[in-house]
Chains A and B, each alone.
Chain A
Amino acid sequence: MESTSEALFGISEQRLTKMRRYRKLKDQVAARLISVGGISVIFAICLIFFYLLYEVLPLFLPASIKQTHSLDQYTLSQPYFSVVEEQGQVGLAVTAAAGPVFYRVADGQTLLTPELPTATAITAFAKDSPGSRAYALGLADGSVLIQKPEYKIQYGDSPLDKTVVPRIEYPLGTTPIQVLNGEPITQLAYRESDDLVRIVAADSAGHLFLKDFAKTESFLSDEVQLEEQTTLKLPQPSGALTNILLSLDQRWLFLVEAKGKVEVLDLRNPVAEMRVHIANVVENGTEITVSDFLLGGFSLLIGDSKGRISQWFITQDETNQTVLTNVRTLTLKDGVAVTALQTEHRRKGFIAGDAQGYIGLFNTTADRRVARKQVADSPIQWIAMAPRGDLAIVNSEQGGPVSYHLDNEHPDVSWSSLWSKVWYERYDEPSFTWQSSSASNDFEPKFSLMPLTFGTLKAAFYAMLVAVPLAICGAIYTAYFMAPALRTKVKPAIELMEAMPTVILGFLAGLWLAPLIEANLAGVTAILLLTPLFCLIAAFSWSRLPRDISTRVPDGYVPVILIPVVVLAGVISMWLSEPMELAFFGGSMRDWVSNDLGIDFDQRNSVVVGLAMGFAVIPTIFSITEDAIFAVPKGLTQGSLALGATPWQTLVRVVLPTASPGIFSALMIGLGRAVGETMIVLMATGNTPIMDMNIFEGMRTLSANIAVEMPEAEVNSTHFRILFLSGLVLFIFTFLVNTTAEVVRQRLREKYGSL
């Protein structure tokens, strides 16, 4: 035999065996690789899903509070206020005994005790917004001293080696401003705007005085000149005050009284009408223990002796009365008095401590307690927070000050803030709102996905309204009635429709169709009515035609006859548009809609989106439906026809029920496409996130929102992750829809296979 292989191939048996082995190996390796390649498709879709999930997950991870070290060398008495600077190296405590004192966060050692320009005792304290860092000291002689901590960073050898050098500045000069006449100040409120300094002070008898100073900066130096403008004696509060708070816009003065009441003064009114509302902010038998502004100087936070912290702000009620409204209440630990409260510098959140040594992180927009931890057994006395919100120093009565690292990246997101109504600041009621960014620093981001989801479904609804009848009717005719020769022409034409880039559809919708519809609203409405009517008239006339003419067009060529009819209907409608608008709508139907019917009308509205996106969805639904109907076994239809049913009866009773799963899956896939479509909605709507079913208004969809905001979102910020979340929502929605459709289709294929 050996000689045969030699003789046949000119190769020895040994080499042949080797070659065979090599070929086998190659075959096996290829089989493996190809299998891996095939399965990698599943891997790809999983990768997309899990990556999106990985980006979204941090939003829902709980925050953590970790102890880092205790400040052993801290020796100061209870401060009015304590804060940590940006770098987390230096702390500032403002005490009654020594005024401002800087200490090292690492060990609590005092770094600097700036000398005060006056020897008068400090009796009261008030702070401005965290952004300005300034605060006011009320003195025993009735004067007020404004101070501001400044920090300079000195770099060592490497950029990481930083030392923070603190100092105290006097933005309004070192001379105290006289507010009361020689009496000690017991309560103080202070706000500074670009041109006005407003100070409210209470004396020991509880009388309140307001002083305004106009600020003028001299051109040559940075020095500020103050000019006294007004002095007012404010209405007498009804009880003993524990705190007075002046809102950031310098309009509202809140008098917090020990008995659980807050009086609201509107400083724009004359003195006699200033008191606009008195609110009971805690339950009977409960006392106010802490009070402060949330970031933005608009919302009041009231902590009580039962462990609750409630948020209040000014709203207008139904009778346009100004009322202080309880917006939400959060609980640190039920029944345990809140003893310390510190608001975050850059977010609508705060940290609170209670009498049992619990501390909790809260966020008001998300309406939730983000984290809670018991850090001591004795009452928490004060808390200092760093501007970045990642460091807090908590002092308990027995434990002394301890520094904590806060891992709290996304406190402002919760299930309720994404999907339910949220009562945002400056709103008169809870609402669904999407507003992700603004120019102001103390802006409350509004991340409700509801308007976007609603917009997505609204756009998809109108698109399906246009696409479903056209696509399904068209598919029925093409698959069941149309002549085969014509079918091979029509199918590619409609497939071409699918290939049309959506950016072109969107561009035409936005720049051509939208103005056209606005100018010819009557004509467009007429098209909707006239086209089917003309088709029916054509059908009837055709059936009346003499036989020898009507049979000249073979069966299954009806659309060719109807094309001129449809064009005619369109032309007549547009031609009638102008006279109709003149005759019935006073020249412009668009004005008639917005003025007489009172319906808001945007140029780029749902009609435009429905038509353009309907156009994009028609081919998807059409081709799958057509396939499903065409795949219905011929035996079934022939049987039905043989039994005497008309073609239409056969279609309705036999073909459609058999093909219905296929049609269902076509609808699903069409819906998936409409939901995820981006460019058309981006270009054909005004992209306003409103929740209104009005057909003449636009919407903002999830996908368009991603396209608009993603390039501007800061990487890994809450906004960035929420955009990923909307991507994930789209993914999951289309995944469910497509999987359902595919499973139904596979079932259908098996069923037909057996027929």
Chain B
Amino acid sequence: MNSIKLWFRKGEPWVWLNAGAVAISVVMVVGLLLLVAVRGLSHFWPHTIIEATYTEPEGGSYTVIGEISDEEWVAASRVRSAGVDIPEDVRVVQRVLIKTGNRDITGLDFRWLLEENLTDVHTPEQVMVVERREWGNFYGYLQAVKEDGQVVASGEQALPALEQRLERALDLHDEIKEIEQGRIGSINYELEQLRLRERRLELNGELDAAAQQNLKAERAALDDRYQALKSELDQLYQAIARDSMVATAMNGEEKEIPLKLVVQYKQPNNMSFFAKVGDYFHQLWLFLSDEPREANTEGGVFPAIFGTVLMVILMSVIVTPFGVVAAVYLREYAKQGPLTRTIRVAVNNLAGVPSIVYGVFGLGFFVYFLGGSLDALFYPEAAPAPVFGTPGLLWASITLALLTLPVVIVATEEGLTRIPKSLREGSLALGATKFETITKVILPMSSPAMMTGLILAIARAAGEVAPLMLVGVVKLAPTLPLDGNFPYLHLERKFMHLGFHIYDVGFQSPNVEAARPLVYATAALLVVVIVVLNLTAIMIRNRLREKYRSLEN
């Protein structure tokens, strides 16, 4: 008894509790990273497809084909209240969530089933999952391949035929996309420019007969180009509609799927481990390089990655000079006194102001005030449609530059502080001016610190969502802000962003259950990017500290 008292008096338990807090924090960080990584990265692994007989609690049974996507134990009362008949003495039941796909046939693509009612569970090798551009996945057995409605291959030959014909359909699909989005897109862009030019001439009172003639000729030329593409497109559409596949779904229904709607197919139960690994990286690549489909719940996140990167680059270009100049002023020029103290308070406040306030400020000041004024001055022809007077890439970048300014200032200042005084004095003693000392000696030496600041700023900007929701991010941008139409970089366009993509798909999408794996994958991607950026920054900083420590000695 005495020993416990003594143990308490020494304060040992409290020390251990404090240590426990550290342990909890570390477990939370690592747990979170693991959770996101496991859930996000497992999405791309080809899941086994099961086939089983399900007996409904009310009696009656049917065949289920699908992937198991979740399992849980629930209180029987909750299942009962959902209208499922369960014997009185059962208190908990195990449920499995099965993704059965085939939304066009059965109406719902996920179903919770009672585990004990699933019998005869097996994994047939021939069962196939088909990823489609509409209606989500299809699960079933391939029966035949058709051309123009005539069966050309069935049974054993169906699979090779499907592989070969799908390749053709995918090529055609790429071609159609290239024409529709690339070439016809640029014709539309030029037509719009033409309309704006006409309106500008009209506003300036210069729209005379000659100018009108000119515009008409240009418009006619564009129209000719459009007609040519249109007929080409029609042919392609006809060609792509040629083939289709026939498959039986889990309820025995035969379904004909046109190959123009098929993205890919696979028989995961028939795959070797290495084939699965190969497929895993293929899916990962598709996720990174593809465009989203079906209201963002399927496909890839390429436009979001692109938008994030472009916005971050623009932001870096803006924030770096300002941040470095402010830090140089604080460390090298200003006399330490009330003014620097005020600046430091301002920097801390810039860091502490909630990000949503930056969004509000950006929307009011940059978008409506500056953007509105720019529109009135330079783009009267576009009225009433706004050009810069609406949320867009430029304003998002500037807003985030303002938001990340303190990060760059603090990091750069820390780097400047660590540079030994003797180096400055040496440079000045050799006759260099102060400015020359800074540009030639101090800044090159502290460039890793600036780099650290910039990396941290980028990591912050890549993960920030709240202000972007107000100043330029959209759930689906029809065009990328960078394309082949002059002036190539369209600062006024809206863009997609990884962080907002997570919010939008996870919380605003019509089919949250189907979208969830994709949200985890996007989250994992974002976390990886941010962890890598931060670890790099920490590494550079540590190395820098070591370097100057050795300089000082």
A504 touches B538 (CB 8 A): no
Instruction: Give bound CA distance, A335 to B470, whole Å.
Output: 51
The 8 A CB mask of A47-63 against B (1 = contact, 0 = none) is 11001100100000000
Q: Given that A31-B333, A540-B7 are contacting pairs, would A510 and B502 also be in contact in the complex, using a CB cutoff of 8 Å?
A: no
Please, how many residues of chain B have a CB less than 8 angstroms from a CB on the other chain?
107
* CB contact under 8 A between A727 and B356, given known A52-B361, A501-B463, A558-B16: yes
Contact indicator A648/B502 (Cβ below 8 Å): no
Chain A residue with the shortest CB-CB distance to B506 = A507
A739 touches B345 (CB 8 A): yes
Q: Distance in Å from the Cβ of B336 to the closest Cβ of chain A? A: 11
The verdict on B328 contacting chain A, using a C-beta distance below 8 Å, is: yes
Which of chain B's residues have a CB closer than 8 A to the CB of A496? 29, 531, 534-535
**Do the beta carbons of A738 and B24 come within 8 Å of each other?**
no
Task: Decide if A511 is an interface residue (CB 8 Å cutoff).
Answer: yes
Contacting pair B356 A539 (CB below 8 A) = no
Taking the closest CB of chain B, its distance from the CB of A66, in whole angstroms, is: 27
Please state if A510 and B18 are interface contacts (CB–CB under 8 Å). Answer: no
Q: Per a CB cutoff under 8 Å, which of B4, B78, B330, B506 touches A510?
A: B506
Q: Which of B424-461 contact A (CB under 8 A)?
A: 433-436, 438, 456, 459-460
B334 closest partner in A (C-beta): A38
Q: Given the complex, which residues of A lie within 8 Å of B434, measured CB to CB?
A: 27, 31
Q: Is B105's beta carbon under 8 Å from chain A?
A: no
Contacts of B333 in A (CB 8 A): 31, 34-35, 38
Q: Which residue of A lies closest to B372 (CB)?
A: A715
Measured between alpha carbons, how far is A750 from B277 in the docked complex, in Å? Answer: 60
Decide if B35 touches A41 in the complex (CB within 8 Å): no
The 8 Å CB contact of B11, one of A40, A562, A647, is: A647
* Residue from B13, B73, B503, B506 in contact with A536 in the complex, judged by beta carbons closer than 8 Å: B13
Tell me if A's interface is mostly helix, strand, loop or mixed: helix
Closest to A564 in B: B23
A27 touching B465 by the CB < 8 A rule?
no
If the complex has contacts A503-B463, A703-B466, A735-B349, are A646 and B365 also in contact, measured as CB distance less than 8 A?
no
| Nearest CB of chain A from residue B506's CB, rounded to whole Å | 5
Interface residues on A, range: 35 or more
Decide yes or no whether B221 CB sits under 8 A from chain A.
Answer: no
Which of A118-126, A138-146, A279-287, A676-684 is the interface stretch?
A676-684
B12 touches A539 (CB 8 A): yes
In the assembled complex, the CB of A329 is this many whole angstroms from the nearest CB of chain B, namely 37
Contact of A679 among B7, B36, B344, B503 (CB under 8 A): B503
Evaluate contact between A507 and B523: CB separation under 8 angstroms: yes
Q: When the two chains form their complex, are residues A497 and B29 in contact, meaning their CB atoms are under 8 A apart?
A: yes
Q: Which one of A23, A42, A675, A679 contacts B342 once the chains associate, using CB atoms below 8 Å?
A: A42
> Cβ of B502 and Cβ of A587 under 8 Å apart?
no
Task: Report if A80 contacts B (CB, 8 A).
Answer: no
Across the interface, do A679 and B466 meet the contact criterion of CB distance under 8 Å? yes
Q: Is the CB of A500 within 8 A of B350?
A: no
Which single residue of chain B is at the shortest CB-CB distance from A562?
B23
CA distance in complex: A502, B519 (Å): 14
Take A470-B24, A563-B26 as given contacts and tell me if A481 and B361 are in contact as well, using a CB distance cutoff of 8 Å.
no
CB distance from B397 to the nearest CB of A (A): 16
Q: Does B285 contact A (CB under 8 A)?
A: no
Closest to B36 in A: A504
Taking a contact as CB atoms closer than 8 A, the residue among B23, B35, B78, B433 that contacts A566 in the complex is: B23
Residues of B contacting A741 in the complex (Cβ-Cβ under 8 angstroms): 348
| Bound-state Cα–Cα, A48 to B353, Å | 10
What CA separation (Å) do A542 and B12 show in the bound complex? Answer: 11
Q: Verify A30–B368 contact, CB threshold 8 A.
A: no
Docked Cα-Cα span, A651 to B364, in Å, equals 50
Tell me whether B463 and A502 are in contact (CB under 8 A).
yes
Pick the contact of B26 from A41, A47, A493 — CB < 8 Å? A493
Are B11 and A649 closer than 8 Å at their CB atoms?
yes
Q: Which residues of A contact B11 (CB under 8 A)?
A: 646-649, 651-652
Binding-face segment, A229-237, A311-319, A358-366, A472-480: A472-480
Contact call A41/B347, Cβ cutoff below 8 A: yes
Determine if B364 and A737 form an interchain contact, defined as CB atoms under 8 angstroms apart.
no
- B313 located at the interface, meaning its Cβ lies under 8 Å from any Cβ of chain A in the complex: no
Q: Quick one: closest B residue to A42, CB to CB?
A: B346
A289 to B502, CA, bound (A): 61
Which A residues between 532 and 585 are near B, CB-CB below 8 angstroms?
Answer: 532, 535-536, 538-540, 542-543, 558-559, 562-563, 565-567, 570, 578, 581-582
A556 to chain B, nearest CB (A): 9
> Does A599 sit at the interface, judged by CB under 8 A?
no
Q: Give, as a whole number of angstroms, the nearest-CB distance from B27 to chain A.
A: 5
Is residue B405 within 8 Å, beta carbon to beta carbon, of the partner chain? yes
Q: Which of A41, A494, A682 counts the most chain B CB atoms within 10 A?
A: A41
With A38-B326, A558-B15, A648-B11 already in contact, the answer to whether A683 and B503 are too (CB < 8 A) is yes
Q: Which of B325, B349, B356 contacts A707 (CB 8 A)?
A: B356
Q: Which residues 145-181 in A have Cβ within 8 Å of B in the complex?
A: none
Q: Knowing A48-B353, A679-B503, say if A563 contacts B348 (CB, 8 Å).
A: no
- Whole-angstrom distance between the alpha carbons of A83 and B230 in the complex? 57
Closest to A570 in B: B27
Residues of A within 8 A of B344 (CB): 742, 746
Given A470-B24, A493-B26, A566-B23, A45 and B15 touching (CB < 8 A)? no
Do A678 and B353 touch across chains, with their CB atoms under 8 A apart? no
Q: Evaluate contact between A707 and B469: CB separation under 8 angstroms.
A: yes
A482 at the interface (CB under 8 A from B): yes
- In the complex the two chains form, what is the Cα distance from A74 to B71 in whole Å? 81
Residues of A within 8 A of B435 (CB): 26-27, 30-31
Report chain B residues within 8 Å CB of A563.
23, 26-27
Knowing A495-B534, A588-B77, A715-B368, the reply to whether A731 touches B470 (Cβ < 8 A) is no
- Give, as a whole number of angstroms, the nearest-CB distance from A594 to chain B: 12
Say yes or no: is A469 at the interface (Cβ < 8 Å to chain B).
Answer: yes
Interface membership of A243, Cβ < 8 A = no
A100, CB-defined interface residue at 8 Å: no
Residue of B nearest to A715 (CB): B368
**B76–chain A nearest beta-carbon distance, Å:** 7
**B217 interface hit (Cβ, 8 Å):** no
Q: Is A730 an interface residue (CB 8 A)?
A: yes
Q: Is A306 an interface residue (CB 8 A)?
A: no
Among B22, B74, B464, B466, the most chain A Cβ lie within 10 Å of the Cβ of B22
A561 to B344, CA, bound (A): 41
**Does chain B have a CB within 8 A of A8?**
no
- For B92, the chain A residues whose CB sits under 8 A away are 578, 582, 587
The reply to whether A730 and B354 form a contact with Cβ atoms under 8 Å apart is yes
Complex interface: chain A residues within 8 A of B27 (CB): 563, 566-567, 570
- Is B484 interfacial (CB-CB < 8 Å)? no
Contacts of A672 in B (CB 8 A): 352, 354
A residues in contact with B387, CB < 8 Å = none
Closest chain-A Cβ to B365's Cβ sits at a distance in Å of: 5
B contact residues around A37 at 8 Å (CB): 322, 325-326, 328-329
Identify which of residues 333-382 in chain A touch chain B, using a CB-to-CB cut-off of 8 Å.
Answer: none
Known: A23-B433, A503-B499. 11 other contacts (CB 8 A): A41-B326, A51-B365, A471-B25, A474-B22, A496-B534, A503-B465, A539-B13, A586-B77, A678-B356, A703-B466, A706-B360
Task: Give the 8 A-B CB pairs with smallest separation, nearest first.
Answer: A676-B354, A648-B11, A38-B329, A501-B463, A37-B325, A539-B16, A473-B21, A587-B75
Listed by A's residue number, 6 A-B pairs whose Cβ atoms lie within 8 Å are A38-B328, A499-B460, A535-B20, A565-B23, A682-B466, A735-B353
